[in-house]
Structure 1
Amino acid sequence: MKVASVQASPVFPMNREATVDKACSLIREAGRNGARLVVLPETFVPMYPNWSIDLSNPTEWAHNLLMLTRNAVEVPGPQVTKLCDAARAAQTCVCIGVNEYVSRFEGMLFNSLLFIDADGTLLGVHRKLTPSNRERCFWARGDGMSLRVYDTTAGRIGGLICYEHLQPLSKYMLMSQGEQIHCTCWPGWPNFANGRSNKGVFDVATRSYAIDGQCFVVASSMYVDPADGERAGLGNASWTFFGGSMIIGPEGDYIAGPVYDEEAILYGELDFDRIVLRKAAADLTGKDNRWDIMRVENNARPYVPFSGSFGERLASEMGLQESPAARRGTPPDALARRLDAIDSELRQLREELGRDPGDTFAP
């Protein structure tokens, strides 16, 4: 199966509609070339906010934030419909990063990934759980509801954003759901002259995910021509976008890329037999794990300020829906722990009564 990683620049000056049109064109191109999954960079629509490095002009900074908000994407909304139509026309699954706007709360933005199936169905949205350092100037925090792996026509697909790939528990939440293809979405930035660069971080984090999860990774990163950036009219901004997109196999090998300092669409052929072969050496979700000793607990509830019926209404207006288990207040992990505790207590009672632990307990 062929997959594609898109390394491209948004349209400048900041322009949501033109950037969505560019994304749709890239999706259709990759589909024509046989890609069954197309991955685009973090916050590709309308752009990654890179102007908070220098806050010497706070008035200009606030104006830029307003412009970002007015160019962000509502889910559902007309821009999402365009992207879904492009996926359906190209007959390919899509993962794309967007700045997501929640109109119920003025100014609320999320760093989000949209997952779209090949029939144009919007499968779900992942919101970055904790924006990294300076990113908290822009984006609100996501919640545990979106740590999902989706069954698609291209396989079981999940995704994380940027430095979420440095969070072992977040990674394990997806790996443990049987992820076959992981979408890694990066901003492709920064690469400062003073030596601080994310080039090495992106490369190592992407390849280590494939090794740890025994899965394929399609990593999409942004590239911006510095000349285009300088013409964007965004003060206090840094235009050191380098790209670094790649496609990685389950052993951490490069199937395609990495590619730097240019726009490109990378293609790679995936053979799921390689996952089985890799699991012969290391099987994270099977014979090499001990879920009876270590487990991850996921609070799959919406991040809203109210509980009860009003909170449920707000969650709906924010595009969130509680899982049935969370709505009942008894997540599956909590039930499993409770059953383990009951079993342990029964064993202790049998021992105190001098019974064989294998006997059926009876009063």
Structure 2
Amino acid sequence: MKVKVALVQESPVFFDKQKTLEKVATLMRKHANEGCQLIVFPESFVPGYPRGFTFGATIGKRSKAGKELYAKYYNNSVLLDGNDLAFLEKLSKDCGAYLVLGISERIQENGSIYCSMAYFSPASGLLGVHRKIKPTGTERIVWAEASGESLVTFNTRIGKLGGLICWENYMPLARMAMYQKKVELYIAPTADSRPEWTTSMQHIALEGRCFVLACNQFYTKSMYPEEYQHLVANEDEDICPGGSVMVSPSGKIIAGPLFGASGTLMAELDLDEIHQGNLDFDVVGHYARNDIFNLKINNQPEMLDETKDSL
């Protein structure tokens, strides 16, 4: 089976949920019209990754201005219920394409926000959400951490989807949680724009014998609205140069890495390459040595099977 994929390396309308969702819709329609069946957006694309912000937090102290900024971020985070959910499900359905969207997700029940990756199907709507199980460094100021229930995977009409966000991909056991489900399209939205990230994505593709789709924002300091410029005064102008990349199961780069510009990487992926690669290495098959190693993952859901008529 062949699947045409788009990785969107763009900038959000920073801290404005509604305008950023409208931008997502414009880009989604454009690439769906170009024949893309899966369209992927970067980490925390809605309403933007708050790079360089401290939210007024130091050890033992939080400022009033920082709390007010957090409240604004909270209010512009996506609620996967009501209008936000209806908008995104309709968008995927109208475009006839799968959508994987990096969001800051607001949870009404517990008042927290999570760095999340939401999966939408044109036929089934919201398939599920992966929430970051370990926010990196001071990301923990604003984002809560999720549990094993968040390690979701999906058997869809375009292949088996799953993935991890940014530096979760450096967690070997988290990667194994994806490999054990035989994920074919491994999606890795990120905020890491270092050249070394490309090497990591090549390693994951080789290790998991899967296609790796790593998508980042392109953002410069000048793009921040005037009201936030003082918060990033000491940052470099090229605050996030991108680096989106697609890698084959043999570790070969298919498209990208794209640095220094907005743009979209597109490619047609032949899923049969995965089975070809398994001849000499299969991380959970003939190379697994289950007589020696045993990995238990607490509360990881079974792979949701969209291909069953009952869904």
Query: Structure 2 length as normaliser, TM-score?
Result: 0.88
Of residues 87, 90, 104 in structure 2, which corresponds to 1:99?
A: 104
| 1:204-256 deviation line (CA, Å, top 9, x unaligned) | 22111111000101111011133212535354234601111111111111111
> What is the identity, as a one-letter code, of the residue corresponding to 2:247?
I
Note if 1:204 corresponds to 2:203.
Answer: no
Runs of 5+ unmatched residues, structure 1: 189-197, 302-321, 324-363
- Pairwise CA distance, 1:154: 1.2
Q: Following the alignment from structure 2 to structure 1, what is the Cα–Cα distance between the partners of residues 114 and 158?
A: 27
Q: Residue 34 of structure 1 corresponds to which residue in structure 2?
A: 35
Matches within 5 A, 1:102-181: 102-106=107-111, 108-181=112-185
Q: 2:77 maps to what in 1? A: 72
**1:223 equivalenced with 2:227 (yes/no):** no
**Offset of 1:54 from its aligned partner?**
8.5
Q: CA deviation at 1:102?
A: 1.2
The Cα offsets for residues 119-157 of structure 1, whole Å up to 9 and x where unpaired, read as 251110111001111111001110101212201121100
8 Å contact kept, 1:24–1:86:
yes
Name the amino acid aligned to 1:2: K
CA distance, structure 2, for counterparts of residue 4 and residue 201 of structure 1: 22
Find the counterpart in structure 2 of residue 7 from structure 1. 9
The SS at the match of 2:164 is: strand
Q: Assess if the C-alpha contact under 8 Å between 1:85 and 1:120 holds in 2.
A: no
Q: CA deviation at 1:62?
A: 2.2
Per-residue CA deviation, residues 278-333 of structure 1 (Å, 9 max, x unaligned), is 112211121111223212211118xxxxxxxxxxxxxxxxxxxx88xxxxxxxxxx
- Closer, same or farther: CA 54–67 of 1 in aligned 2, 3 Å: closer
Structure with greater proportional strand content: 2
TM-score by length of 1: 0.76
| Residue number in structure 2 paired with 1:297 | 296
In structure 1, C-alpha distance between the alignment counterparts of 2:75 and 2:21, rounded to whole Å: 14
Q: Give matches, 1:192-271, under 5 Å.
A: 198-229=193-224, 231=226, 233=228, 235-237=230-232, 238=235, 240-271=239-270
Q: Which structure 2 residue ranges, 5 or more long, are not aligned?
A: 303-311
- Whole-Å separation in 2 of the counterparts to 1:232 and 1:25: 26
The Cα shift of 1:10 comes to 0.6
8 A Cα contact 2:195 2:243, kept in partner? no
Deviates more, 1:40-49 or 1:280-289: 280-289
Greater helix proportion: 1
Q: Kindly provide the amino acid, as one letter, of the partner of residue 119 in structure 1.
A: A
Q: How far apart are residue 55 of structure 1 and its match?
A: 4.7
Between 1:75-84 and 1:88-97, the stretch displaced more is 75-84
Other structure's SS at 1:270 match: strand
Q: Deviations over 1:22-75 (max 9, x none)?
A: 111111111111111111000111011224359589333222211100101112
- Code of the residue aligned with 2:169 in structure 1: it is H
Q: Distance in 2 between matches of 1:169 and 1:218?
A: 19
Alpha-carbon distance between aligned partners in 2 of 1:11 and 1:282, rounded to the nearest angstrom:
43
**Which one scores higher on RCO, CA 8 angstroms, separation ≥ 6?**
2
Q: Deviations over 1:160-191 (max 9, x none)?
A: 10000100000010111111101110124xxx
Task: Find runs of 4+ consecutive structure 1 residues off by over 4 angstroms.
Answer: 53-57
AA of the residue aligned to 2:90: D
**RMSD (Å) for aligned C-alpha atoms:** 2.0
Contact kept, 8 Å, 1:222 with 1:243, in 2: the verdict is yes
Tell me which amino acid in the other structure corresponds to 2:12.
Answer: P
In 1, the alpha carbon distance for the partners of 2:208 and 2:295 equals 15
Q: What SS does structure 2 have at the residue aligned with 1:126?
A: strand
Against the structure 1 CA distance between its residues 63 and 249, is the aligned structure 2 distance closer, same or farther, given a 3 Å change threshold? Answer: same
SS at structure 2 position matched to 1:31? helix
Counterpart position of 1:184: 188
Which protein has the larger Cα radius of gyration, Structure 1 or Structure 2? 1
